[in-house]
Structures are given as structure tokens and as C-alpha cells.
A = this chain, B = another copy of it.
Amino acid sequence: MPPAKRRERLSTEERREQLLALGTDLFSSRSFDAISIDEIATAAGISKGLLYHYFPTKRDFYVAVVERAVENLHTATAPDPGLDPAAVLVASLDAYLDYVVTFAEGWSALLRAGIGADSVVNALVETSRTRFVERTIANLPIDSERAADPLVRIAVRGWVGFVEAATLDWLERDDVDRRALRDLLAGALPGALAAAGVTLA
């Protein structure tokens, strides 16, 4: 990536947004370890000193980028209240796969915890999974008593693990088309719920 031609004058907020967008771009195609602070500063067209002013360490920068990416993912996959539950599931999975395909390398590295013993990043990812579990349960056409059943919660948490594992495996192959994967992911949810004693209409 060529360095920016000259240092633009940006407000604090604009500069932070620029850096987060740049970080999303950099970490979407390469892992945490593969990118240096020097490269980030050069790509942003700013000094390392100014970069450190916004993010004291590379890890702080990565955490902020992951936090933003998780927010973007949740916004992109938010249920459309005009759709029925089955259509919501399919639309959310399509948006999820759009996102995963766009940020494939960074997403794989994040889920494989390439950054290491970073409890902050792990907590962000775990919180994001919990939000997906809660959103998925809220979208199910079941009564509130069933929705509160711990076994249902474990089944949906397992299904989120299914989605991640199947998608990571799919990304490493080129012999299954995206629609077949999407249908597999959508179809596995009623299967998991049936195993928890919940039959969807």
C-alpha cells in the first residue's frame, strides 16, 4: 500500500475513524503478527508518534479495530422486523457470509485467536457470540418458557459454534458454493433445536 501523499489535517474524531477504517482494511487480509506499527503509520500517512497518541500499543489498536468490526457485523446482520423468522435467519446468514468473505483473513485469524493470550479480544468475541445467541433465540417462533430453557440456550450456542466451524472449513475449500453453505447453516438450527426437544412449526 503506497503511503499517503501528504499529512491531511483531520479532527481527532476524523483521525480516529480514518485509523479504524485503515485497521479494518489491514487486519482483514493479514494477521495481527504480520502487521507492524511502522506499516500502519506509513499507510495512514502519519508519524508513529501521532499513531501512539491515538493507540498507545499495536494491541490497543487491534482491540479497537475488533470492537468496531464486531459492531459493524452486528449492524449488518440485524434482523429485518418485516420478515418472518425463517427469512430473518437466511437474511442474517447471507449478511454474515458477506462479511466473512470480505474480511476472510482477519476473521479467520481472530477466531483462531492468533493474537494470543489477549483476554480483552477473547472477551469481545465471546460477548459477540452471546449477542448472536440471544438474537437467534429472540427470533425463534417459540414461547418465552421454551426460550428460557437452558438446553435451548446451549443448543443455540452450539449452533453458533457450528456456523463458525463450518464457515472456517468452507473458506479453506473451493468445492462448495456459498448458497449450499448458507442453506446448511440455516438447516442446522432446526436440527439442533429438535435435539433439544424443540420442534419448529
Contact = CB atoms under 8 A, between A and B. Distances in A.
Interface of A: 32-33, 112-118, 122, 150-151, 153-155, 157-166, 169-170, 173, 175-176, 180-181, 183-188, 190-192, 194-196
B163 A151 contact: no
Quickly give the copy total for this chain: 2
Nearest to A31: B117
Contacts of A151: 176, 180-181, 184
Contacts of A186: 195
Which of A118, A153, A188 lies at the interface centre, i.e. has the most chain B CB atoms within 10 A of its CB? A188
A163 B154 contact: no
Contact of A162 (B158, B175, B180, B181): B158
A155 B188 contact: yes
Given A114-B117, A117-B114, A190 B191 contact: yes
Nearest to A180: B151
B184 A154 contact: yes
A32 B161 CA distance: 24
